[in-house]
Structure 1
Amino acid sequence: MAAMVEGKVVLVTGAGGGIGRDIALLMAQHGAKIVVNDVGASVAGEGADVGPAQRVVDEIVAAGGEALANTDSVSDPGAAARMVEQAVQRFGRIDCVVNNAGILRDRFFHKMSAEEFDSVLKVHLYGSFYVSRAAANYFKEQGAGCYIHMTSTSGLIGNLGQANYNAAKLGIMALSKSIALDMEKFNVRSNCVAPFAFSRMIGAIPTDTPEQQARVEKIKQMTPAKIAPICVYLASDQASDVNAQVFAVRNNEIFLMSQPRPIRSVQRSEGWTPESLAEHGMPALKGSFVPMERSGDVFTWDPV
């Protein structure tokens, strides 16, 4: 098997289990040196335990790879800087950041507290910024680097009871695009992956109804290991021309996701009034309105 990321140094956040763990393991199998970051907290972000990160490090080392554990929180800019510094001090450089760490605080919008909203954005969106920013100067100086950010179809399309998570995940797509535009001249790439996979976070989905139970059973078929290959590819030199894209991975399917573009327009030479909008403008646009869909309404077929 070709070692696609041989000698590269990769920092994977939230890598103590689930999707992050499988990304770290496959990166190591393909020759990368890994910083395994995980605070060891619950799905809701509570508690801390060095165990999960160290166990993944032990797996990598037992298989002949190189890795070190880091338990800093991505939601703290100083901690984010420390984990990047740790990679550079131990391995001499940093080549790829995989922003995977996340928590859930699901609640219907009209019941969501400011703390529940803020805590999820701090880990997902702010965390992606903090870790990415900490690596940016190293990438700039060495004239190369790669970011892989975990977004979600819940944010790209929509989902119930996740205003905090959805806002963060859609924000991550915009953050990735900005990084790609700003750092392209330094040979730095930034892409997003929206994973479908059963993990501790997905395990928090309610199963109170037969519909919810059936949905979770389908998701269980999609293992975290299915997400890792595209991440290894995106981190490799073979993906040197892949930048500012959003991919979704659903079991054995890989999708290139659309990004917002104009759908239809209306024009009036004398300009619009509220009355003319009501009479002519909006009726002309309504046929192209984006429907009120959730992610499950779009991905309706069983995973292959």
Structure 2
Amino acid sequence: MTISFEGKVAIVTGAGNGLGRSHALELARRGAKVVVNDLGGARDGSGASSAASQEVVHLIEAMGGEAMSHGANVADFAQVEDMVRQTMDRWGRVDILINNAGILRDKSFTKMSLDDFKLVMDVHVMGSVNCTKAVWDIMRAQNYGRIVMTTSSSGMYGNFGQSNYGAAKMAVLGLMNTLVLEGAKNNILVNALAPTAGTRMTEDLMPEEIIKAFAPEAVTAGMLTLCDDNAPNRFILCAGAGGYSSASMFETEGCFIPQTAQNPETVRANWDELTALDGQASLLSGAKQGEKFVMKAMAFMKAQQQQ
């Protein structure tokens, strides 16, 4: 079945270049009206220009689509609110939000300034928070919303020199996990994309021929499956160079240690059972972990009473 976005309004942040540009163009090609957001700064977040986002708008209009550009700095909630207000004034709804905007300030942790750490957190984390907050009640009122966070293998698994970026990219997964629970009753689905693509964010890290293999369009093909009517929910899709996979967090079944024996030595002695992969599961919420431990305690007490 062809995935279509006819009649949908999408906001794509950081859409002047790279992945965001690819996302915006393909959403428009499949019928969406698109807000092309881009501050137009360098990849370290400095500077600003509307040239890139305006070019994307012109390309969309040339193919017969509808688009508008907005230069909101996603780290500034007032600017984000203005972007959403203009979107509502023009089209009256927001169906899709792609939180794609990001910057890099790579250095080893020992050499990294706290200002560089905070700036990356502000753009990636608060940028995603600000944009999501600005559209959340709109989506609740219309009982429809599709939100995509952009995470990264650097957050899920670590990458030397990217402690700020990695921390930010794990934070948006925590945001996703709770928004999934809060948005479900209003048909707001929230997913995450973990891309690997040859863009200006990675151009210094890969040879040119490899960058061509890691075209943004390959990532966009995956991203589109996360924001249509039949999208999954709470899904982490990894995509790059034609490869697609899912990532998940699992928790082992674990062990139970009675109160009289709860000390670090006993925990270490039960390490094999604690880490055994048999029965591992992806928990639906944080409360499920507490429920599991309570059930273990109750089972132990019941066994004691039957002796």
Counterpart residue identity of residue 186, structure 1: N
Give me the whole-angstrom Cα distance separating, in 2, the residues matched to 1:23 and 1:76. Answer: 23
Please tell me whether residue 258 in structure 1 is matched to residue 248 in structure 2: yes
Could you tell me which residue of structure 1 aligns to residue 45 of structure 2?
Answer: 45
Kept in 2: contact 1:140–1:188 (CA 8 A): yes
- Structure 2: how far apart are the matches of 1:162 and 1:85? 35
CA–CA separation in structure 1 for the residues paired with 2:212 and 2:108? 24
Contact 1:249 1:255 in 2 (8 A): yes
Task: Note the C-alpha offset of 1:238.
Answer: 2.7
Match runs of 1:136-215 below 5 Å: 136-205=136-205
Distance 1:2 1:273, change over 3 A: closer
Give the whole-Å Cα distance in 2 for the aligned partners of 1:5 and 1:238.
11
Q: Conserved in 1, the CA contact under 8 Å of 2:180 and 2:234?
A: yes
Match of 1:244 in 2: 234
Cα distance between partner residues in 1 of 2:54 and 2:100: 17
- The one-letter amino acid of 1:10's match is A
Which residue in 2 is equivalent to 1:228?
Answer: 220
CA distance in 1, matches of 2:113, 2:187: 41
Secondary structure at 1:64's aligned position in 2?
A: coil
* Cα deviations by residue, 1:211-252 (Å, 9 ceiling, x for unpaired): xx66x754542100111122223222132xx11111101222
Q: Contact 1:4–1:233 at 8 Å: present in 2 too?
A: no
**Counterpart-to-counterpart distance in 1, 2:212 and 2:274:** 40
Number of residue-to-residue matches in the alignment: 276
Equivalent in the alignment of 2:132? 132
Q: Which amino acid aligns with 2:226?
A: L
Contact 1:2 1:30 in 2 (8 A): no
Give me the whole-angstrom Cα distance separating, in 2, the residues matched to 1:76 and 1:162: 23
After superposition, give the CA deviation of every residue in 1:109-147 in whole Å (9 maximum; x if it has no partner).
112111011000000011000000100010011111110
Distance 2:129 2:20 in 1: 18
SS in 2 for 1:69: strand
Alignment check: 8 A CA contact 1:198 1:223 kept = yes
User: Aligned equivalents of 2:267 and 2:129: distance in 1?
Assistant: 40
1:174-225 CA-to-partner distances (Å, cap 9, x unmatched) read 11111111010011110001011011111243xxxxxxx66x7545421001
2:263 to 273, 276, 281: 273
AA paired with 2:257? R
For residues 49-104 of structure 1, the C-alpha deviation after alignment (integer angstroms, 9 at most, x for no partner) is 01010000011001111000100100011111111112111112111000000000
Q: Distance in 1 between matches of 2:181 and 2:92?
A: 27
Q: How far did 1:272 drift?
A: 2.3
Secondary structure (helix, strand or coil) at the match of 1:111 reads: coil
Q: Offset at 1:10?
A: 0.2
What is the RMSD of the two structures over their aligned residues, measured on CA atoms? 2.0
Deviation of 1:276 after TM superposition, in Å, equals 3.5
Which structure's CA Rg is the greater one?
2
Give the alignment's TM-score, normalised by structure 1: 0.85
The answer for the alignment partner of 1:208 in structure 2 is none
TM-score, L = length of structure 2: 0.85
- Separation (CA, whole Å) in 1 of partners of 2:245 and 2:35: 28
2:195 match: secondary structure: strand
**Cα distance in 2, alignment partners of residues 204 and 97 from structure 1:** 29
Q: Which runs of 5+ in 2 are unaligned?
A: 278-307
Kindly indicate whether structure 1 or structure 2 has the higher relative contact order, using CA contacts under 8 Å at least 6 residues apart.
Answer: 1
CA distance in 1, matches of 2:223, 2:51: 24
Change in 2 beyond 3 A, CA 1:161/1:274:
same
Q: Percent identity?
A: 37
Query: Does structure 1 residue 15 correspond to structure 2 residue 5?
Result: no
Partner of 1:109, secondary structure, is coil
Secondary structure of 1:238's aligned partner: coil
